[in-house]
Structure 1
Amino acid sequence: MKKSTILDKKILKYMSASAAVLATGASATGQIIYTDVIPDAVVAGQGLSVNIDVNNDLTDDFIAAVVGNTTVNAAVAVPFATGTACAGGNVQNEIMGTMPSNYDYVSRLSLNDPISATGPWMGTNCVQGTMGYYVIANGSSPYSENWNNGVTDGYMGLKFESGGNIYYGWARFDVSADQLTLTLKDYAYESTPNTMIPAGAMPVGISENITSQITFFNSNNIITLKADNELTNGVMKIISTTGQIVKEIKLVSGNQQIDLSELAGGLYVANITFNEGVMTRKITIK
């Protein structure tokens, strides 16, 4: 069977990255917006895919999927598309990769590799690239894809357009050796337009995870938050999808309720900072 048949195969189903957790923080070049996918989004089986909304504006930017037939499995990635057209997506979005012998191979980046205008990029108008390729009968990967033979913590370089500006980001994946399972772990982008981001770059302070020390939920636009007594000097910032801080609240230990009903309906990020670390949550105001 020709390899191109796999690359042309229509993606059949979609699986959203559920329960995404966002974090923001200053970087050396600007501000990195980070999303931790909790739990990891696992695609296990042909015809399944995961969508990536890099800037969390409710418009999907990229798809990673497993395609194939009884002969081969292939992990692929493509700027968000419907069928063979860019319907629903942005024709300016691109994935970092190379094109040897007229095939499109998704680059597998290592931690801190630069992602910028230099690329290389595979092209606009929803160019689909292969991550890895696996022949079921003999367990071989006869081509030169960068994600063959199993990958843990590989980074994909992403370029996307939003509001007339170009942004660069990354997504981190595990890929099984048989190319039948993709795991999306997290992703991020540099919120300053046309600015390089190193693969795997995270906001300052993101390593200090205090999630286990905070109880947080939103009901009827009222946030109920309980912080452990060990946490000190807490502040919660409510941030709009445009990056504007619309409300800032001083936090105390113990139980606290914050009424957000005065905010316009829509998606927001609650950025919670204590001396001991950072936690963020996506919230919806109705």
Structure 2
Amino acid sequence: MKNNKFNIKEYSALSLSFIAVSASLQGQVIYTDIEPDAVLEYSGGVIGIDMDNDGTYDFAFKNTVFSNYSTLYHTSFRYERILAGPVYTPLNLIAGSRKTYGGSYAGSFYVYFPYALEEGALITPPALHFQNYGFQRMAFADYYYSPWLGWTTWDGGLWFPEKIEHFIGVRFIDDDSLYHHGWIRCSVIDTGHTLIIHDYAYESQPNHPIAAGSLETYVDIENNNPLYSIYSFGNTIYYHLPSEDLGSEITLFDLAGRIIYSGIISETYSSISPNCLPGIYVVRITTSTQSITRKVSIGN
């Protein structure tokens, strides 16, 4: 695994330019790719996420390990945790659950667990619960030792021991005190020891839901014209349109706005296999009366 060290200033510069070029193409969904992926592999590592690129970090992720040994009682403990939480304001929230531990004798306490959302999950209340606690446990393992009990282990979290390319759902407030919903694509590997952050996006329309992993505004998803379809599988883009729109132009853009492919549509059902690198692209079909745009992911 690559040892990608990130600090706050480096990360901010890396994500800034990509938001600027993607916003013009993505419309209402503002997407940011992290290249290379941000990796929290060692204790003390912290990554800040500025969802809307306003210069203030909205959420932070931390890899932390803490241990202690008591010479008096000959006991020891070790905490290993991947944490997520809002920063600077309790008005930002992460979708997750809250569980109560303890009892009346020793007292009780809450532990917060961010959801590991599947692609397509709708991010909005009341479909999901949202928490504003600053140290929510994605994955954790606590080890205790005493001469009387030996070693005991308490581990868990909805991302433990491993989740590959699932999504954190977020709800954050902008400079105008309006709420937006977004997703952050993450992986937890190495039995909960390593966090990888791949990319993130948010819906620019206040208080509108967003589907986890989607680059299409939920308004367009709900109102999608069934006469037109554009989707990708592997390195091929498939499309369908009514026969009266034959002769329309199909254009493929990268996220910098460069034209990768352009052609004239001669069949109602067809496909193209552009010669381009894997990644996120924008397909536009221009008819005599309208323009239909979709975001697609092209693989190997």
Bin for the TM-score computed over the shorter chain: 0.5 to 0.7
Residue 72 (structure 1) aligns with:
79
In structure 1, what is the Cα distance between the partners aligned to 2:80 and 2:231?
Answer: 36
Residue 179, structure 1, aligned to residue 188, structure 2: no
User: What is the deviation of 1:60?
Assistant: 0.7
Tell me how many residue pairs correspond in the alignment: 204
**Residue pair 1:97, 1:104 contacting (<8 A) in 2 also:** yes
Cα distance change on mapping 1:206 and 1:159 into 2, 3 Å: farther
Residue 11 (structure 2) aligns with:
16
Residue 40 (structure 1) aligns with:
37
In structure 1, what is the Cα distance between the partners aligned to 2:294 and 2:152?
Answer: 44
Cα distance change on mapping 1:167 and 1:176 into 2, 3 Å: same
Residue 122, structure 1, aligned to residue 131, structure 2: yes
- If asked which structure has higher relative contact order (CA below 8 Å, sep 6+), I would say 1
Q: TM-score, normalised by structure 1?
A: 0.60
Residue 97 (structure 1) aligns with:
96
In structure 1, what is the Cα distance between the partners aligned to 2:79 and 2:188?
Answer: 15
**Residue pair 2:253, 2:282 contacting (<8 A) in 1 also:** no
Letter in 2 for 1:174: S
In structure 2, what is the Cα distance between the partners aligned to 1:274 and 1:182?
Answer: 32
In structure 2, what is the Cα distance between the partners aligned to 1:114 and 1:96?
Answer: 11
CA deviations on 1:165-197 (whole Å, 9 max, x unpaired) are 010101010112333321110001111101111
Larger Rg: 2
Letter in 1 for 2:125: A
Letter in 2 for 1:74: R
Residue 142, structure 1, aligned to residue 161, structure 2: no
Residue 190 (structure 1) aligns with:
203
Residue 107 (structure 1) aligns with:
115
CA deviations on 1:95-124 (whole Å, 9 max, x unpaired) are 11111112111111111111112130113x
The SS at the match of 1:170 is: strand
**Residue pair 2:97, 2:129 contacting (<8 A) in 1 also:** yes
Matched-pair identity in %? 23
In structure 2, what is the Cα distance between the partners aligned to 1:210 and 1:137?
Answer: 55
Q: Structure 1: 5+ residue runs without aligned partners?
A: 1-12, 81-88, 217-224, 234-271, 280-286
Greater than 4 Å deviation, 4+ residue runs = 135-141, 204-211, 230-233, 272-279
Residue 50, structure 1, aligned to residue 47, structure 2: yes
**Residue pair 2:202, 2:210 contacting (<8 A) in 1 also:** yes
Q: Structure 2: 5+ residue runs without aligned partners?
A: 1-6, 68-77, 101-109, 146-150, 218-229, 238-251, 264-280, 286-292, 296-300
Cα distance change on mapping 1:275 and 1:189 into 2, 3 Å: closer
Q: TM-score, normalised by structure 2?
A: 0.58
Letter in 2 for 1:113: A
**Residue pair 1:31, 1:192 contacting (<8 A) in 2 also:** yes
In structure 2, what is the Cα distance between the partners aligned to 1:39 and 1:164?
Answer: 32
Which structure's residues are more often helix, by fraction?
2
